[in-house]
Amino acid sequence: MDIKKLEILLKVLEIGSFSQACENLGYTQSGLTHMMNSLEKEVGFPILKRGHYGIRLTTNGERIMPAVKEIIAADKKLTCEINQINAEENGTIRISAFTSIAVQWLPSIVMGFTKEYPNINVEIFNGGVADTYNLLESGKVHMTFGSYQANSNFKWISLKYDPMLAILPGDYDTEGKDYFPVTEYEGKQFLMPSYGFSIDIMRVINGNNVKPQIKETSLDDPAIIAMVEGGWGVSMLSELVLKGNSSNIVALPLAPAAVRELGIALRKDAEISSIIKKFIAYSQKIVGNL
């Protein structure tokens, strides 16, 4: 049985709402529904019941839940112990990171660190919010470089604030303004990036009570930029994502200003070896000078 499905099941129950779980975990409604239906097919009986009250366990679901929690806890403990031993004995540090951070920050961090510690091997896995944090939660990586997630249960080390920017076609009439009022998203076709960036974006949109015509996509950041450049709509990305971009688009700071907090997430229950502590300290030094 896929441990990931069991972990997602616990998250869905913890959140208590399918739609909210999709937003928090970075899944589409259909994708999360398919995963839970697949799990129920594997076990041979319904686990969840859905209604106006939210999500609850069936009677059979309640019977298996203690064993499910034990399996997940044991799997995480085993994986963490294995990774800890590898980090200490084989000199391997495993990192998951947002693609933008993997491109803009990690080359300087990893190259500089491995010059000081040539016997240390650094493995990097990149992706979006769901991908990177799932790797951390499962214990498959020692740390995640990403954005702060309010509903997470990780130890958080803040590194830098990354301004969110409006992404507009090159011929967009800004009326001479050097900023973009968030209220101007109202009613416009909004291209929503995939890979979990929607969590940071929806925080800004919902916080300003704006209702754009959101078009869900499976596109990464460069593809979103290309779509905006082609006049298919507007979007929102961060300054770090746009660094070095030369497309014919307009990127303006938002008003009111909005940022995402970037940093390092660690499992609260994980033992942190001395070499990982040194890597974190080195990362803080490098990012602080960027």
pLDDT (0 to 100) of residue 90:
62
Q: What is the pLDDT of residue 233?
A: 94
3-state secondary structure the chain: CCHHHHHHHHHHHHHCCHHHHHHHHCCCHHHHHHHHHHHHHHHCCCCEEEECCEEEECHHHHHHHHHHHHHHHHHHHHHHHHHHHHHHHCCEEEEEEEHHHHHHCHHHHHHHHHHHCCCCEEEEEEECHHHHHHHHHCCCCCEEEEECCCCCCEEEEEEEEEEEEEEEECCCCCCCCCCEEHHHHCCCEEEECCCCCHHHHHHHHHHCCCCCEEEECCCCHHHHHHHHHCCCCEEEEEHHHHCCCCCCEEEEEEECCCEEEEEEEEECCCCCCHHHHHHHHHHHHHHHCC
pLDDT score at 263: 96
Residue by residue, pLDDT tens for the chain (290 residues) are 678 888 888 888 888 888 888 877 778 888 888 888 999 999 999 998 887 777 889 999 999 999 999 998 888 888 877 776 766 656 789 999 988 899 999 999 999 998 988 888 899 998 777 788 888 988 889 999 999 887 778 999 999 999 999 999 999 999 999 999 999 999 999 998 865 677 788 889 989 999 999 887 767 788 889 999 999 999 999 999 898 887 899 999 999 999 999 999 998 877 788 888 889 999 999 999 88
Q: Which residues lie closer than 8 Å to 62 by C-beta, 6 or more apart? A: none
Q: How far is CA 169 from CA 52, 88, 191, 205, 235, in A?
A: 41, 50, 12, 19, 10
Beta bridge partners of 235: 167
Between the two ends of the chain, the Cα-to-Cα distance in Å is 44
Cα gap 203→84, rounded to integer Å:
35
Nearest to residue 269, comparing CAs of 92, 138, 133? 138
Distance from C-alpha of 35 to C-alpha of 41, rounded to nearest angstrom = 10
Tell me, what's the pLDDT at 95? 94
Q: Say what the alpha-carbon torsion angle 134, 135, 140, 146 is, to the nearest 10 degrees.
A: -120
From CA 92, how far away is CA 44, in angstroms rounded?
41
pLDDT at residue 88, rounded to an integer: 60
Is the preceding peptide bond at 66 cis, omega within 30 degrees of 0?
no
Return the structure tokens found at 144: 């995640």
